[in-house]
């Protein structure tokens, strides 16, 4: 029997293409095309509802953003939220992970307990905290008990500073468990023989953590930091829900919320695209950093 | 050797006590909001706003759950929206698993010209966060007439670079001899994929299915953009609307929160092994 002129390799190559093509088509439509459109649209004056063709305006959208008070505020809001969330997240998840690994019982229980808030969706989390931060809610009660005051309202959802703190608390609460588990598995992957060698050399427990565990955790720490940072830059739900349920929008008007409102409420697609591109560039920088960091800092322990 | 281990594990009694104290205290702090949600969901609103908050109420107000399901106008909108969320989350997770495994399999086990380029292109999409393309994506999807429909809620999320990466990494060590044996037996390539590869990819599939299900169950931004009609709303949209209504009963609010979290808690307690996936993360750091 004569076979067609395809070798096994050619046949396999053809099947390889067949298997990857559907994904490539979907990515082209739903990832590559939109990001190019965003670049393109950011140079146009485009209105969502208007039927007139969009007008080319060069850098005007970007120029507007750099002089706009509102945009500057939302950059500051995002920066404050990101710095205020990711630093405590990294520090506390490292501490919690180190503590969990130092006890010899209930390790799994603590990991699961800290992770529990991550099980909820962000909308549900915001809903719960909205009641907790209510003037009559348990946040005020708890703080009053702790500070020994009575009946003081700390304005969790109305004063600018407190409102920002509130969004930070919600985020911190939701993600602390996840990053703790990442650190736990990072610490767990350090071979015990390294600790053993150090103990033979006569180090104490603290030196052991500081000179062995901590330096070897550097890649994990960097990875967690960048991941947390990127996650915080993208924050939307908490701010959106707090503001749509009556809290003042200005202090928590983060970039994503600003993009959403500019496009959907003001119909200014060009301006929203310019904001998206700026956000994209910042996040691209951090993602690139993450990839670079995770490649160069890779450690093999043996 | 064991003496070293014992020494390593033995801390000062005082230090150990402090560590336990810190862990228990933080654990309590983290769990308070959850305890609040569960207790408040069974209380009448008057009890929830009592000062101080009565952690255990005298009245078990189960009606909250009935009212949450029934809705203020008795339209059972909550159920309708739950069905929408389930349809979307289950479909996205099914199609993501299928597409990711077929693409991952193609990239892992087939040599073809341009394979590395394809892989890099796919990985590059990880650099494009959804938040930065949501507006043009919204226009693409409305341009295709998919707004306000299941298709529009599902299709944009099916191609998932992380999922493809996960499946590729999982399938690379798969023995080639098994695949070749099936080829010699005359099995077609699609048949090899569905009957040899897929049944052996269980753990990776479970991990990926849960990740995509959760992401969609939690998705607020996209439905917010493309859903207009009441009966296409998903649970996050339902809760958003519910929160904006000023006269919502606090007990019912928490009952909604509990009900909306139920699928997640069920997954968490039955499949916690796949739920918290750090393996995928660590393999992704190894590039």
Domains of chain B: residue spans and CATH: 2-70 (no CATH), 77-286 (1.10.3720.10)
Residue A178: pLDDT above 60? yes
Residue A1: pLDDT above 60? no
Residue A7 near chain B (CB below 8 Å):
no
CA distance A141 to chain B (A): 7
Per domain, the residue ranges of chain A are 48-296
The residue written with tokens 């940072």 in the block is A229
Residue A160: pLDDT above 80? yes
* Mean per-residue pLDDT, B136-148: 92
Pair B105, B167: CB distance under 8 Å: yes
**Cα–Cα–Cα angle for B189, B191, B192, nearest 5°?**
65
Report the pLDDT value the prediction gives residue A241, as an integer from 0 to 100.
92
Q: Which of B4, B111, B246 sits opposite A196 (nearest CB)?
A: B4
Residue B97: pLDDT above 90? yes
- The class (CATH top level) of A48-296 is mainly alpha
Report the pLDDT value the prediction gives residue B5, as an integer from 0 to 100.
47
Q: What is the dihedral of CA A43, A46, A52, A57, to 10 degrees?
A: -30
* Mean per-residue pLDDT, A24-44: 94
Query: What is the Cα Rg of chain A in Å?
Result: 25
**Interchain proximity B220–A192, CB inside 8 Å:** no
Residue B80: pLDDT above 70? yes
Q: DSSP class of residue B12?
A: -
Give A44's strand partners.
Answer: A56
| Burial call B28-63: b when 16+ CB within 10 Å, e when fewer | eebebbbebbebbbbbbbebbbeeebeeebeeebee
* Mean per-residue pLDDT, B1-7: 43
Report the pLDDT value the prediction gives residue B219, as an integer from 0 to 100.
94
Contacts of B36 in chain A (CB under 8 A): 128, 131-132, 138
CA distances from A83 to A49, A78, A257, A273 (A): 37, 8, 18, 25
Report the pLDDT value the prediction gives residue B246, as an integer from 0 to 100.
61
Residue B4: pLDDT above 80? no
Tell me the C-alpha distance between B94 and B106, whole Å: 18
Dig out the tokens for A166 from the structure. Answer: 């509130």
Contacts of B9 in chain A (CB under 8 A): 104
Confidence band, pLDDT 50/70/90 cuts, at residue A5: low
Residue B280: pLDDT above 50? no
* Mean per-residue pLDDT, B236-260: 86
By the 10 Å C-beta count (0-12 exposed, 13-18 middle, 19+ buried), B249 is classed as: middle
Mutate to test the interface with A, among B4, B33, B260 (most CBs of A within 10 A): B33
Confidence band, pLDDT 50/70/90 cuts, at residue A302: very low
Pair A180, A188: CB distance under 8 Å: no
> Each residue of A131-159: pLDDT tens digit?
999 888 889 888 988 888 888 888 899 99
Residue B92: pLDDT above 90? yes
* Mean per-residue pLDDT, A148-174: 92
Give A56's strand partners.
Answer: A44
Please tell me whether residue B254 adopts helix, strand or coil conformation. Answer: helix
Say whether the peptide bond before residue B84 is cis (omega within 30 degrees of 0): no
Residue A233: pLDDT above 70? yes
A44-45 vs A55-56, strand pairing mode: antiparallel
Confidence band, pLDDT 50/70/90 cuts, at residue B284: very low
Confidence band, pLDDT 50/70/90 cuts, at residue A296: low
Return residues 122-151 of A near B (CB < 8 Å): 122-132, 134, 136-138, 141
| The most confident of B51-55, B127-131, B225-229, by mean pLDDT | B225-229
Residue A299: pLDDT above 80? no
Which residues, in sequence order, are CB contacts of A23 under 8 Å at separation 6+? B99, B100, B102, B103, B122, B159, B164
Which residues, in sequence order, are CB contacts of B43 under 8 Å at separation 6+? B54, B57, B59, B61, B64, B251
**Interchain proximity B126–A287, CB inside 8 Å:** yes
Q: Greater confidence, A12 or B84?
A: B84
Confidence band, pLDDT 50/70/90 cuts, at residue B1: very low
Stated length of chain B? 287
CA within 13 Å, CB half, B140: 25
Mutate to test the interface with B, among A38, A82, A123, A279 (most CBs of B within 10 A): A123
Report the pLDDT value the prediction gives residue A301, as an integer from 0 to 100.
46
Mutate to test the interface with B, among A34, A82, A111, A285 (most CBs of B within 10 A): A34
* Mean per-residue pLDDT, B18-36: 95
Contacts of residues A186-193 at CB distance under 8 Å and 24 or more positions apart, as own/partner, are A186/A97, A186/A217, A186/A219, A186/A220, A187/A97, A187/A98, A187/A101, A187/A213, A187/A217, A188/A101, A189/A301, A189/B282, A190/A216, A190/A217, A190/A301, A191/A301, A191/A302, A192/B5
Tell me the C-alpha distance between B130 and B161, whole Å: 12
The residue written with tokens 């990880």 in the block is B126
Residue A126: pLDDT above 80? yes
Query: What is the Cα Rg of chain B in Å?
Result: 24
Dig out the tokens for A67 from the structure. Answer: 């002089």
Tell me the C-alpha distance between A272 and A51, whole Å: 18
> Each residue of B152-183: pLDDT tens digit?
999 999 999 999 999 999 999 999 999 999 99
* Mean per-residue pLDDT, A278-296: 81
By the 10 Å C-beta count (0-12 exposed, 13-18 middle, 19+ buried), A88 is classed as: middle
Pair B250, B235: CB distance under 8 Å: no
Confidence band, pLDDT 50/70/90 cuts, at residue A8: confident
Tell me the C-alpha distance between A243 and A249, whole Å: 5
Tell me the C-alpha distance between B91 and B231, whole Å: 18
Confidence band, pLDDT 50/70/90 cuts, at residue B11: low
């Amino acid at each position: 029997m004569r076979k067609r002129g395809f070798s096994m390799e050619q046949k396999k190559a053809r099947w390889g293409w067949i298997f990857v093509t559907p994904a490539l088509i979907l990515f082209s439509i739903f990832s590559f095309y939109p990001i190019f459109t965003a670049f393109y649209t950011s140079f146009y004056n485009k209105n969502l509802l208007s039927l007139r063709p969009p007008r080319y305006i060069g850098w005007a959208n970007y120029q507007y953003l750099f002089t706009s008070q509102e945009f500057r505020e939302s950059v500051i809001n995002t920066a404050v939220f990101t710095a205020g969330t990711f630093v405590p997240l990294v520090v506390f998840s490292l501490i919690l992970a180190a503590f969990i690994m130092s006890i010899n019982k209930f390790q799994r229980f603590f990991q699961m307990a800290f992770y529990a808030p991550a099980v909820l969706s962000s909308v549900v989390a915001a809903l719960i905290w909205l009641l907790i931060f209510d003037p009559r809610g348990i946040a005020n009660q708890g703080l009053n008990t702790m500070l020994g005051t009575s009946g003081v309202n700390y304005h969790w959802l109305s004063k600018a500073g407190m409102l920002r703190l509130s969004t930070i608390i919600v985020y911190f609460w939701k993600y602390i468990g996840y990053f703790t588990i990442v650190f736990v598995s990072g610490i767990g992957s350090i071979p015990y023989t390294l600790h053993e060698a150090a103990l033979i050399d006569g180090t104490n427990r603290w030196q052991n953590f500081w000179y062995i565990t901590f330096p070897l955790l550097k890649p994990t720490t960097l990875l967690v930091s960048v991941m947390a940072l990127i996650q915080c830059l993208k924050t939307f739900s908490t701010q959106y829900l707090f503001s749509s349920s009556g809290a003042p929008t200005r202090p928590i008007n983060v970039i994503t919320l600003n993009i959403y409102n500019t496009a959907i409420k003001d119909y200014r697609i060009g301006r929203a695209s310019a904001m998206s591109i700026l956000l994209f560039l910042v996040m691209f920088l951090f993602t690139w950093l993450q990839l670079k960091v995770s490649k160069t800092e890779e450690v093999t322990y043996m | 050797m064991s003496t070293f281990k014992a020494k390593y594990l033995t801390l000062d009694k005082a230090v150990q006590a402090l560590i336990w104290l810190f862990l228990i205290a933080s654990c309590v702090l983290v769990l308070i909001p959850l305890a609040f949600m569960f207790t408040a969901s069974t209380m009448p609103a008057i009890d929830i706003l009592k000062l101080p908050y009565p952690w255990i109420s005298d009245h078990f107000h189960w009606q909250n759950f009935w009212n949450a399901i029934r809705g203020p106008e008795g339209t059972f909108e909550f159920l309708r929206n739950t069905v929408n969320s389930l349809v979307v989350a289950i479909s996205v997770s099914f199609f993501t698993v299928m597409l990711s495994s077929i693409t991952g399999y193609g990239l892992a086990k087939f040599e073809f010209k341009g394979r590395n380029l394809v892989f890099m292109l796919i990985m590059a999409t990880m650099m494009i966060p959804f938040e930065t393309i949501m507006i043009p994506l919204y226009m693409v999807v409305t341009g295709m007439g998919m707004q306000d429909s299941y298709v529009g809620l599902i299709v944009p999320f099916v191609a998932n670079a992380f999922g493809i990466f996960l499946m590729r990494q999982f399938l690379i060590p798969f023995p080639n001899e098994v695949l070749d044996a099936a080829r010699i037996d005359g099995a077609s390539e699609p048949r090899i994929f569905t009957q040899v590869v897929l049944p052996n990819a269980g753990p990776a599939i479970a991990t990926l299915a849960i990740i995509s299900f959760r992401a969609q169950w939690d998705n607020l931004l996209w439905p917010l953009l493309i859903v207009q009609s009441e009966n296409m709303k998903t649970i996050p949209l339902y809760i958003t609307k519910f929160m904006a209504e000023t006269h919502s009963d606090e007990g019912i609010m928490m009952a909604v929160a509990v009900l909306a979290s139920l699928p997640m808690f069920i997954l968490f307690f039955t499949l916690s092994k796949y739920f918290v996936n750090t393996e995928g993360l660590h393999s992704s750091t190894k590039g």
